[in-house]
Structure 1
């Protein structure tokens, strides 16, 4: 099944209990609001499908995993309501991953920025290549990684999250992300990663579905308040994006 939206798509494939959800956008797999909405809905729907034992979350292409939210949409924000709606996009996807009763395995073939790092942190187990460097660039335009922060901090801890947040122009290597716990496995090349991913997911999908669902609940214990938390974070970001500082930063970006 393939849903096309704003030059991008959300594609779903099923194979022996393994559901693969793939997103794509020509701008380095950035995710405009419509695609984020579709992705969140797809994750929720597949989580309820009885035939689905396990979900693989991946992006299309062989370069960037995800460049984060659409900067084109960010530049159009004119009021608080629009700002909250914009920053709620990744919040909805993260919460869809969190509440999905099926385990989600991530696949990162390349770089992840901002919300893309949040997506990887929202998976339950993540494969990556050496090219999957990560960066939280939000501070460069006067906001912070507030919405994706809880998911990232949950995976790598406050100290590593602080490093990422405060070095907003720096890409951190995949090896660093593995050391901190964001990635479970890192491979030299995509083909090597995909071979290992196939073996792992087939083994996992053959496990007792009830046991997998129980583990999912254990892994995410203590996050029941995230619907409210991420909404509050979206409101904070929605206010900051209207500040004089951020407006000036966006104008500078427009002039490049």
Structure 2
């Protein structure tokens, strides 16, 4: 599968029973809604694919894993209905990742902001490099990490999530993310692909039914996300229309 245009790119490749999904966008691997929906659909499709046992999720380039929501699309939101619809895109993706019956390995090669941190949090096991700083900067633009908060808090705890959110102007280091549990392994950039491939191949050699059952256990207690994430999208969809947020988005875009 391949999609390449101004909306970004999405490609899936297969090696034995390992599927590698790569997304990209010229604006620091940000997510316009169309690309977000494509990724969600691909995760759902791979979940149903009996020939796949493990998924690797990665992005293009070297400096940025994902910068979250598309600023251009945020600025185009004109009413609360459009706002809720836009932020529901991340809710759909996070739910697809937790409901996917395949283990998802995150391959993180660069910095992550906002929704990018949420996507990393929804991976089951994450390899990253020492350059992979992270930040939740949503409060600075008048909104908050409401949709992704359950995923982030589940992975690193409410206290660490609060620290990231309230100090949203600060980058947290890859070492900090490893210590808090967002990253599973840190390795040098030149070894990243080999480390990810080796781990994925080892996982794929295990009993597929055992992996499916383990996935269920990993995500126990998150059933409420089916409604919670969309309730959170409604909060963000309202806040994005405020004068504060409009001015902040324009300033950040500059």
Q: TM-score, normalised to structure 1's length?
A: 0.96
Q: Could you tell me which residue of structure 1 aligns to residue 161 of structure 2?
A: 161
Shift of residue 89, structure 1, vs aligned partner: 1.5
Describe the shift of the 1:193–1:251 C-alpha distance in structure 2 as closer, same or farther (beyond 3 A): closer
Per the alignment, residue 243 of structure 1 pairs with 242
Q: Which runs of 5+ in 2 are unaligned?
A: none
Matched residue, 1:6: 6
Any idea what the Cα deviations from partners look like across 1:225-246, whole Å, max 9, x if unmatched?
1120000000000011112322
Where in structure 2 are the equivalents of 1:172-187 lying within 5 Å? 172-187=172-187
Question: Which of 244-253 and 133-142 deviates more?
Answer: 244-253
Task: Name 1:214's counterpart in structure 2.
Answer: 213
Q: Summarize the Cα distance change of 1:250–1:199 in structure 2 as closer, same or farther, 3 Å threshold.
A: closer
Q: Show CA shifts across 1:173-203 (max 9, x none).
A: 0000000000000112x22121111111110
CA distance in 2, matches of 1:197, 1:67: 22
For residue 66 of structure 2, what is the aligned residue in structure 1? 66
- Determine helix, strand or coil for the equivalent of 2:106: strand
- 1:78: Cα distance to partner? 1.1
Q: TM-score, normalization: structure 2?
A: 0.97
Give the unaligned 5+ runs of structure 1. Answer: none
> Corresponding residue for 1:223?
222
State whether residues 7 and 32 of structure 2, in contact with CA within 8 Å, keep that contact through their aligned partners in structure 1.
no
1:56 maps to which residue?
56
CA contact (8 A) 2:56 2:105 kept: yes
- Structure 2: how far apart are the matches of 1:250 and 1:170? 18
Task: Output the aligned Cα RMSD.
Answer: 1.1
> What secondary structure is seen at the aligned counterpart in 1 of 2:76?
coil
Aligned counterparts of 1:132 and 1:90: Cα–Cα separation in 2: 21
